[in-house]
Chains A and B, each alone.
Chain A
Amino acid sequence: MFSFVRFEIFRSLRNVRYLLLLVIMPVGLYLIYGRTSNSVPAMVAMAVYAAAGGGLIGSGGGVAEDRLRGWLRQLRVTPLADAHWLTGKIVQGMLMILPGVAGVCLAAVTTGGVRLGAGQWAGLAALLLLGSLPFALLGLSLALTLKGKTAQIGLVVIFFALAALGGIIGSGALPGVLATIQPYLPTYSLAQAGYAIAGGHGPQASGLAVLAGWALAAAASALVLWRREAGAR
């Protein structure tokens, strides 16, 4: 499985779209808007951007195309077990957040004058890694539902919708109904937990519960969809 994860990561790193969308964009946005005012929350927001996007697109991005091209079928006649494939894709999705998150934090420390304690950095890192899990599972579910380019576009659209509604990009001020669903969005919950940790206090249990709920729901749907895919012709 290790070889498989490594193989997949090499593939993704070669993907220019990935670098542009999930490393250069959040670092750039931070450099443009973040470092002047509210340096710490801006860093957290952009790190969440990288974590959510990396999870969502990092794991799901290639799957839809692999399905279309027949690479998934080819893999299924090798000794790579289905469970290992699934685990590998999730691990890959979670690791794919690292370049973006690290880039944003580095920019914040070097240009934004952000200073946090070692415990806070560790807490943030753990939060973002674990917090990318629901996104990775969501990405897989979508990639197993949609096909080819549709899936790629779908993932990007859903990512930006979640980012905007969750208040990571834009003002975060939402009209009416949208404001009431905002606390139930994984992007919003992850960002709030991040602000709390960076601010020196623990994250709220309700926010973590929302993330766990998304992770469970997405895991269940990924599993069901994968079963269907595996049984399909």
Chain B
Amino acid sequence: MKNTVSFTAVSKSYGRVRALDDVTFHVAPGETVALLGPNGAGKSTAVDLMLGLARPDAGEITVLGTAPHRAVAQGRVGAMLQSGGLPADSTVAEVVRLAVRLYGGRRSLADVLELADLTGLAGRRCDALSGGQAQRVRFAVAMAGRPELLFLDEPTVAMDVESRRAFWAAVRAGGTATVFATHYLDEADAYADRVIVLGGGAVVATGSPSTIKAMAGGRTVRFVLDSPDTARLLALPGVTMVSVHGGTVTLMTDDADRAVAALYSSIGGVRDLEVSGAGLEEALLQLTSAQR
């Protein structure tokens, strides 16, 4: 099957700033992909290009087998832009109704309001909405046409933890393949099938969330052991570093499963064992700083 998005050898500059430099990635059908990176990494530029809001200086982009602006014109993609906004003097229902009509009535107004949990806010004017509520209206606009592919640029940036969770539940319920840009690392970890890490306008890494973590130093294994032998611990498979404080041992590992199995089978007396991810936050920092 053809890729939903092919982004091939794309470069884009704004003035003297090179926002993307020879970037290539693909999104497979049905896949939810996170574009992860710090501010200025090129995420929004990539999203703009995939929506035909800007043209690449070099390279080629196809979305759903056609040019980005065509996919948009055909109403096959939905999008929430970071810089997108709502008209102040319209009500929620008016904005969503307009979106439903622009997409040719593929969903009913009531369905879309329900989908974005806006039924109770339908009569509210857009300038009287909280950040999270406004974001839900924009989500409703993006979903109004039953899109084949959804683009979300920093979708939860104005939301508290609760609204973020609710928002992602709604995205999941929509069941649409999604490409989203985020600098919330836990978000990429929790909701993406695959993560593409951007740093300084280039792809720094790509893989499943767990692969990305492993690439950047993997997991930490912590336990208590009477009289630990540092040399023996370091010789265990997958272990990259050992530190001992009294009876507490910390192993850095790029393969926690093998390390733990070997630990139990070859060294006795291990207590209170704990495995924790390095966290995408640390992973991202390492990956993007290594790039520079």
- Which residue numbers of A lie inside 8 Å of B, CB to CB? 3-4, 7, 10-11, 14-15, 62, 65-66, 69-71, 73-74, 76-81, 231, 233
Contact = CB atoms under 8 A, between A and B. Distances in A.
Interface string B94-133: 1001110111100000000000000000000000000000
Contacts of A77: 51, 53, 72, 77-79, 81, 84, 151
Contacts of B87: 11, 62, 65-66, 69, 71
26 contacts: A3-B101, A3-B102, A4-B98, A7-B98, A11-B90, A14-B89, A15-B89, A62-B89, A65-B87, A65-B88, A69-B85, A69-B86, A69-B87, A69-B88, A70-B84, A71-B86, A73-B53, A74-B81, A74-B84, A74-B141, A77-B72, A78-B103, A79-B103, A80-B102, A231-B55, A233-B14
Given A3-B102, A77-B72, A79-B102, 17 more contacts: A7-B97, A11-B90, A11-B94, A62-B87, A69-B88, A70-B81, A70-B84, A74-B81, A74-B138, A76-B72, A77-B151, A78-B72, A78-B75, A78-B141, A78-B145, A231-B55, A233-B14
The 8 closest A-B pairs by CB, nearest first: A70-B85, A69-B85, A3-B101, A74-B84, A79-B75, A77-B79, A7-B98, A70-B84
Contact of B83 (A65, A73, A79, A80): A73
B166 interface: no
A80 B83 CA distance: 18
Given A70-B85, A73-B83, A7 B74 contact: no
A10 B85 CA distance: 18
Contacts of A15: 89
Contacts of B89: 11, 14-15, 62
A229 to B, nearest CB: 11
Contacts, number: 80
B254 interface: no
B73 interface: yes
B154 interface: no
Q: Which among A15, A66, A73 has the highest number of chain B CB atoms within 10 Å?
A: A73
B54 interface: yes
Contacts of B53: 73, 76-77, 233
A233 B88 CA distance: 22
A127 B30 CA distance: 56
Nearest to B127: A69
